Structure 1
Amino acid sequence: MPEQPITFLPLSYAARPPRNVVVAPHVDEHWIAWTAAALARLSTVWGCSGSVVVPSSAVRHPAVKRCLARLNPDHVLAYIPSWATYDALNPGTVDRLLAERKISDSAAGEQFRQMLRREPWNGSAVHEAEVAADQLRSQLAINRREDLIQCSHLFDDDNARELTPLAEVATTTLVGVPRSLVTTAEALAYAMHVGIEESAIDRQITVKEWRDAATRGTEAPLLSQLHPGAPDNFRTLRSHEAGLCVPITRAFRPRRRIVILGDQPEDFALAEALRQILGSVTWLPWAEPGLSDMWLFSRRESDRLLVTSASLSMEETRQRIESRWDKRPIRQIEAEQEERRFDVVAPTDIDLDHPFMVVLKDAWEQPRSLPVTVEPDGSLQASLSLAAEVPRGLDPDRHRWQLTLTAANHPLPPLAALGPSTVTADDQNPWETFVRAADGGITYWSHRFDFVPSGASLAGSLASPKLAWPGIKRILQVSASAEGIQVLPSPAGKRASITERLLGSRAALEALAASPGWPLLRRFLPDTAPNGCPDGSWWKLKSAVVLSWEAIAAHGAPGWDLTARREQIDQWASQGVLRRGLILGCGHCPILEFYPLAEISQSYRCRRCGGDNQLTKDRWKPVTHEPRWFYDLHPAVLELVMNDGDVPLLATQYLRGQYWARHALVCEEFELLKDGDRFVEMDFALATTEELWLGEAKSNDSLGDNPKARRREASKLMEGCTLVGAAGLILATAKAQWSATTVEALKSEIAGRQGVGKTVPKVSLLTGLGASPQLARLSGG
């Protein structure tokens, strides 16, 4: 078996705290207190600034699930309170329990009391939170290796072996909202921004103060009132600076500020998740307009709010925000004349592209280079294990962190199907650490998870796995196999693959489709006419059309001078795209055929009858004193050109020119087989750092000749996206726009899938390929 070629993969290295989703118990009308208890516990963990708390009743909400999937957490944890916490939420519980057991007030009774307060409380609400966390963990396919879960619970007592306490990393005084004060939704709305600490305060905070603080978020001066003795350089518990971290994103444009209305658990959960993904989010759980709205609308006119809710209907949401706008305390001109600077959207329509990633500020975007072998399908396997390394500012004995490696020219979408076996090398110990695709690359737990002997060295205690970066074909196969679907190259895909191999890369193939060379290649099609070619320079044979240099030079291509054209023909001939040869006849039968240069010598054998011939004047065409060179097109390239193979090539070339898809992995046409039967054919697949997209490209403007055919094709394309975990579908055409009937069929299919609760991919329309391409999101898609 031939050895695979070795190359060096340039990487970007980042260290970061684990990203957690903490599922809090939900106890009916007391959900705020229980959520505050979970947030108070999370506020003590390093990485709380990039983590979220979700009440267990909100985990299944579609908008919340969508956001948590995009958050792509490292751990899903069920919050397990201690008896001390339960007693604080339900005063007197411990005393009643001791009285029921007739435990006296003796020293032994006090000892039992202290022991009980440290024990986990495992009521039915906690069990429900554990079930919800386990279901979410399975849906996101994270934090587990087969049936072994790395970290599943967050107890009130620290477990530094799993999650590092925030105080172990922080270098300044940390403050938050005193836990005893977080008893209302308004207080929780502010505590969401800064965190909760175990402290007491004498004074009461008014409802107006909470609302002002919640509306202003981290800008609120309330903390100085809650902590009058804190030093000037204090940090809030949930600030990124407290954990020596910074948030980074690939977003190209500034974020829009998002406002969440509603006072239900799912509204809080939605605000929590969106805050970590998009940054600027405000939760307003109260319905009444008031003075605090001055902070909501006192922005520049160019700033437009996105307003949504997980519990309210679109109409209810609109009424509430319009009431706030009409009654706002500060306005510049009359309300009827001023444009309303907000848009009401459904929570599932909020753009979640380019989420934030919280990283250690002194240990990110560090360059690395790793020798890898290139597999036939484009996958990369590391030749060496990664070196164990401790980021500056961290201690391997006291701290635990995540390592993330991204390759600019080999992105990985964070698909649930890309588990440890897909992103680790074949000879890697599967139990060394937890590895998965995340954040556009690969992330893994800093410390070894398998057996570590006492007193192990630094290299012996830290993980140093050998990783693998699957190619786009491998990504599709793994994603589809999880749904019992088979992925095979289509005939068109095989032709494109052969041509790509001849030219050397997908980029070169795309460049050919966009070059003046593609129309020239169309002159080799069997149904073309000479179109002004000089006599004897164009021949239509039984097997193919062949052209001489004179015919190629006569091809009209403004701006493509003969010198450049000559160089291109020579390059294609050296690559095998074109074959140089002679038109020769046979002295034994009437066949006239093209013979490539490699098959020609002074004597040659007829392909039809096998007769031997000599290379003499009466054998070659046209009749001249010396034979004339002709060129024919490689059969695979000929069929690619004949079947409008330039359309999907132009589509992927344009898409890879977009900032979000630079360096994307691209796959040529393939088929999806369900139960062995061909289900749908896709013209291309595109894998970016965030998502997997599938595409259909056509030279015309319709998916079918009649309504039934169009609906059937739209259904198959969207279902194909679902089967391989693709986030979106791109429909590309060479026409200036898609037909109205096709757009109608797409919208009808989207509405139908939404009506029965099926997954609906994002749908984008790419038009004007080869002329003036435009990409737009399908309205309602």
Structure 2
Amino acid sequence: MPEQSITFLPLSYAARPPRMVVVAPHDDGDWFVWTAAALARLSAVWGCSGSVVVPASAVGHPAVDRCLARLNPDHVLAYVPSWATYDGLNPGAIDRLLTERGISDSAAADQFRQMLYKEPWNSPVVQEAEAAADHLRLQLAPNKREDLIQCSHLFDDDNPRELTPLAAVATSPLIGVPRSLVSTADALAYAMHVGIEASTIGGQITDKEWREAATRGTESPLLSQLHPGVRDDSKAMRSHEAGLCVPITRSFRPQERVAVLGNQPEDFALAEVLRQIRGSVTWLPWAEPGISDMWLFSGRGSDRLLVTSASLSTEETHQRINARWENRPIRHIEPEEEEHRFDVVAPVNINLDNPFMVVLRDTWDQPRSLPVTVESDGSLQTSLSLAAEVPRGLDPNRHRWQVTLIAHNHPLPPLPALSSTVTATGQNPWETFVRAGDGGVTYWSHRFDFVPSGASLAGSLASPKLAWPGIKRMLQVTASTHAVEVLPSPAGKRAAITERLLGSRTNLEKLAASPGWALLRRFLPNSAQDDIPEGSRWKLKSAVVLSWEAVAAHDDTDWDMTARRGQIDQWTSQGVLRRGLILGCGHCPILEFYPLSEISQSYRCRRCGGENQLTKERWRPAAHEPRWFYDLHPAVLELVMNDGDVPLLATQYLRSQYWARQALVCEEFELIKDGNRFVEMDFALATTEELWVGEAKSNDSLGDSAKQRRREAGKLIEGCTLVGAVGLVLATAQAQWSVTTLEAIKSEIAGRRRAEKPVPKISLISGLGDAPQIAQLTI
């Protein structure tokens, strides 16, 4: 393969509002009051339907951080309220400040009050929210360059150069829960579904009504009751329709609904983020059963309700949901006969795969194509800048949006470390904010560097040159964050050579699964030979060679001779096999294979250098005319000799799964830590969602002793985390993994959890080459 080549990259284009995490100040008293204030502000921003509010005290909670990492936000913002908001939550605060400053003149007081209304309210709780937002940015790596952040705060006043107001995009009237009514956690549980508006509509909503509305979510009629006479085309502020958007996902969605119990900030945060990832999520901050539970258990019979909590233990969660079940107001049959339609799970066990992406309704999955340069490591770089484009319904003078480009045959996991790799060589990194996200590359629509007033469309919109790193580049970058080096192993080099001969990894995997692999094993020095014609297989000092008669005698009734002959010719043209003659030397007693390219009427002996003529005395076996033999490429021979088909069968099977059909695959590699070889991995696999690494074996064990199995399991799992992989695949050609190996893996995982170390997902593949099956390891 040449060092560089030019090809065209098919892309899927989408425009969408920015995805935000807003960190709300936390007050040890009524924490939900500040959370509601932040939600009210977010509700007025375009993109609120795909964004979340997180109380500052919930940042750092393992369950919340896990979900935020999967959300992959564009911005992490600290909510900074104005004095007007603070005075609204604490009536008389400004008047007390006037008194403290001795401002008694009514005109001066009014002037001071109007000035102060627009000023940010800076206090210790706001500073704590800013510190929590900074902490999240370090973890999530949203749109930023070094110490420069594209957007860091969400103030009560709009800044149209950063975020677009929802009202500037909406084509229908917007309604939400009046801000003055959201004074309890029960009210917030409903408001998180529909949004909060700034109006101060009076009235009284009972706890019972709030709870029923929260449990029913967007199906509740409460919003229309709060706005009598509202137009039929009105949209809830937090609905996707209000922002002209739709949620999309590229995979099957889980059937289960999710209910989050508990009245703590981390419970709200968990429910808020899960809503964006899974869709159907309810937060229940009240503990006692009630009439609203009829809506909680009213799903279809096939639906399962997953119940979890960030603040309650599994036992406490069980007790609360069991009490709701036993006291539910509507029963279909006798309680002791009806199966519980819910499962209690820890937050860590909730499936976060294939999250929703909220995109502009008329601008997603649009086809694009770019000329790209293919680098030697499989990375792609665009050959030209993208053309500036304004999606239908948006105005570049008033709106700011995100552009997302997904290459379906070159996926890019949304790992923070990879954001440094997605701009092409020579691209100005300050033009706009580009990062890895949503399985591809995403960037801010507008230029970030200097844009003169009155600039043209092309001058104001970003048109970056982009790059898609190959999987080897991905591994090097992610491992470098842990001061670990990634190098190809000897086995990986052999696989890379064979892949180059065959043209692609896919072709190499097909070879491993084909009848041709068994034929290639005939070239091994210790292979059986009693079933092939005499003289058709020769074991020379340098290699084993076969004639066509040996190939034809290979026992495989399903592989007909026409296909077999065609395969031999194809391998010969690719360099997998070399056609030639077995020739001796008239000067020394050497017998050697000479490929066709080295033979003419005369040839020189490789051992002694003697000149020989191609005559009957020189070729073997003795015959009137020489017989063609085939020699196997040394790298392919070693690949076959070392059971190289096992990892190939593993990655081929993985890419037959719907979530990995377009995955990038890397052959075997080593991790070098502190200058020493730490662990060897048989393969890596990158999808639009995740990065996986794997170990594939022909046997069913990681070692001969308990100590060796534990050590190997520990190294594999640690290696998985060092390269930023979300999961480890253990594949075997046996019917199942041995019990002792599974025990070693579970023991290592338990130890890592006790030490609060990251634990990857473990997938087990068995029956490679026969009847492969995949399953998740459960503990």
Question: Partner residue of 2:387?
Answer: 387
Question: Partner residue of 1:597?
Answer: 596
Partners of 2:335 and 2:570 in 1: CA distance:
68
Question: Partner residue of 2:424?
Answer: 425
What is the letter of the counterpart of residue 113 of structure 1? R
Question: Partner residue of 2:494?
Answer: 495
Alignment of 1:87-486 (within 5 A): 87-419=87-419, 421-486=420-485
TM-aligned CA deviation for residue 535 of structure 1: 1.1
Q: Deviations over 1:660-699 (max 9, x none)?
A: 0011000000000001110000000000000000000000
Question: Partner residue of 1:773?
Answer: 772
TM-aligned CA deviation for residue 33 of structure 1: 0.3
Q: Deviations over 1:576-595 (max 9, x none)?
A: 00010001111111111111
TM-aligned CA deviation for residue 229 of structure 1: 2.2
Alignment of 1:689-728 (within 5 A): 689-728=688-727
Question: Partner residue of 1:6?
Answer: 6
What is the letter of the counterpart of residue 162 of structure 1? E
Say which SS state the counterpart of residue 492 (structure 1) adopts: helix
Tell me, yes or no, if the aligned pair for 2:731 and 2:764 is still in contact at 8 Å.
yes
Tell me, yes or no, if the aligned pair for 2:308 and 2:344 is still in contact at 8 Å.
yes
Partners of 2:668 and 2:49 in 1: CA distance:
43
Q: Does 1:540 align with 2:539?
A: yes
Partners of 1:340 and 1:254 in 2: CA distance:
19
What is the letter of the counterpart of residue 761 of structure 2? K
TM-aligned CA deviation for residue 4 of structure 1: 2.1
Tell me, yes or no, if the aligned pair for 2:41 and 2:156 is still in contact at 8 Å.
yes
Q: Does 1:578 align with 2:588?
A: no
Partners of 1:3 and 1:579 in 2: CA distance:
25
Partners of 1:623 and 1:78 in 2: CA distance:
86
Partners of 2:611 and 2:343 in 1: CA distance:
81
TM-aligned CA deviation for residue 566 of structure 1: 0.2
TM-aligned CA deviation for residue 202 of structure 1: 2.6
Partners of 2:254 and 2:391 in 1: CA distance:
30
Tell me, yes or no, if the aligned pair for 2:13 and 2:365 is still in contact at 8 Å.
yes
Q: 1:240 to 1:349 in 2, by over 3 A?
A: same
Say which SS state the counterpart of residue 701 (structure 1) adopts: coil
What is the letter of the counterpart of residue 545 of structure 2? V
Partners of 1:751 and 1:610 in 2: CA distance:
65
Tell me, yes or no, if the aligned pair for 1:306 and 1:343 is still in contact at 8 Å.
yes
Partners of 1:329 and 1:247 in 2: CA distance:
34
* TM-score with structure 1 setting the length: 0.99
Question: Partner residue of 2:647?
Answer: 648
TM-aligned CA deviation for residue 760 of structure 1: 0.3
What is the letter of the counterpart of residue 703 of structure 2? G
TM-aligned CA deviation for residue 250 of structure 1: 1.6
Partners of 2:516 and 2:61 in 1: CA distance:
53
Q: Deviations over 1:129-179 (max 9, x none)?
A: 000000100111122101101100000000011000000000001100011
Tell me, yes or no, if the aligned pair for 1:6 and 1:371 is still in contact at 8 Å.
yes
Partners of 1:442 and 1:255 in 2: CA distance:
29
Say which SS state the counterpart of residue 287 (structure 1) adopts: coil
Say which SS state the counterpart of residue 722 (structure 1) adopts: helix
Say which SS state the counterpart of residue 337 (structure 2) adopts: coil
Tell me, yes or no, if the aligned pair for 2:717 and 2:728 is still in contact at 8 Å.
yes
Tell me, yes or no, if the aligned pair for 1:255 and 1:278 is still in contact at 8 Å.
no
What is the letter of the counterpart of residue 144 of structure 1? K
Aligned residues: 779
Partners of 1:243 and 1:303 in 2: CA distance:
30
- Structure 1 vs Structure 2 CA RMSD: 0.9
Partners of 1:604 and 1:130 in 2: CA distance:
79
User: Identical aligned pairs, as a percentage?
Assistant: 80
Partners of 1:719 and 1:531 in 2: CA distance:
47
Question: Where do 4+ consecutive residues of structure 1 move more than 3 Å?
Answer: none
Tell me, yes or no, if the aligned pair for 1:262 and 1:310 is still in contact at 8 Å.
yes
Alignment of 1:668-747 (within 5 A): 668-747=667-746
TM-aligned CA deviation for residue 3 of structure 1: 6.9
Partners of 1:374 and 1:737 in 2: CA distance:
40
Partners of 2:387 and 2:10 in 1: CA distance:
15
TM-aligned CA deviation for residue 253 of structure 1: 3.9
TM-aligned CA deviation for residue 2 of structure 1: 7.2
Tell me, yes or no, if the aligned pair for 2:170 and 2:244 is still in contact at 8 Å.
yes
Say which SS state the counterpart of residue 526 (structure 2) adopts: coil
Say which SS state the counterpart of residue 28 (structure 1) adopts: coil
TM-aligned CA deviation for residue 280 of structure 1: 0.2
Say which SS state the counterpart of residue 416 (structure 2) adopts: coil
Partners of 1:522 and 1:564 in 2: CA distance:
18
TM-aligned CA deviation for residue 201 of structure 1: 2.3
**Which has the higher mean CA deviation after the structures are superposed, 657-666 or 2-11?**
2-11
Question: Partner residue of 1:569?
Answer: 568
What is the letter of the counterpart of residue 668 of structure 1? E
What is the letter of the counterpart of residue 16 of structure 1? R
Question: Partner residue of 1:627?
Answer: 626
Tell me, yes or no, if the aligned pair for 2:372 and 2:381 is still in contact at 8 Å.
yes
TM-aligned CA deviation for residue 529 of structure 1: 2.5
Partners of 2:775 and 2:560 in 1: CA distance:
36
**Which has the higher mean CA deviation after the structures are superposed, 586-595 or 736-745?**
586-595
What is the letter of the counterpart of residue 533 of structure 1? I
Tell me, yes or no, if the aligned pair for 1:298 and 1:330 is still in contact at 8 Å.
no
5+ long unaligned stretches in structure 2: none
TM-aligned CA deviation for residue 558 of structure 1: 1.9
TM-aligned CA deviation for residue 106 of structure 1: 2.4
TM-aligned CA deviation for residue 254 of structure 1: 4.1
Partners of 1:253 and 1:97 in 2: CA distance:
53
What is the letter of the counterpart of residue 174 of structure 1? L
Q: Deviations over 1:288-326 (max 9, x none)?
A: 111000001112221110000000000000111111111
Question: Partner residue of 1:31?
Answer: 31
Tell me, yes or no, if the aligned pair for 2:3 and 2:375 is still in contact at 8 Å.
no
Say which SS state the counterpart of residue 519 (structure 1) adopts: helix
**Which has the higher mean CA deviation after the structures are superposed, 611-620 or 121-130?**
611-620
Partners of 2:128 and 2:214 in 1: CA distance:
30
Partners of 2:747 and 2:657 in 1: CA distance:
29
What is the letter of the counterpart of residue 41 of structure 1? R
Tell me, yes or no, if the aligned pair for 1:499 and 1:509 is still in contact at 8 Å.
yes
TM-aligned CA deviation for residue 102 of structure 1: 0.3
Tell me, yes or no, if the aligned pair for 1:697 and 1:732 is still in contact at 8 Å.
yes
What is the letter of the counterpart of residue 599 of structure 1? E
**Which has the higher mean CA deviation after the structures are superposed, 293-302 or 427-436?**
293-302
Say which SS state the counterpart of residue 225 (structure 2) adopts: helix
Tell me, yes or no, if the aligned pair for 1:49 and 1:240 is still in contact at 8 Å.
yes
Partners of 2:79 and 2:668 in 1: CA distance:
47
Say which SS state the counterpart of residue 523 (structure 2) adopts: coil
Partners of 1:4 and 1:534 in 2: CA distance:
47
* TM-score with structure 2 setting the length: 0.99
Tell me, yes or no, if the aligned pair for 1:255 and 1:280 is still in contact at 8 Å.
no
TM-aligned CA deviation for residue 427 of structure 1: 1.2
**Which has the higher mean CA deviation after the structures are superposed, 247-256 or 544-553?**
247-256
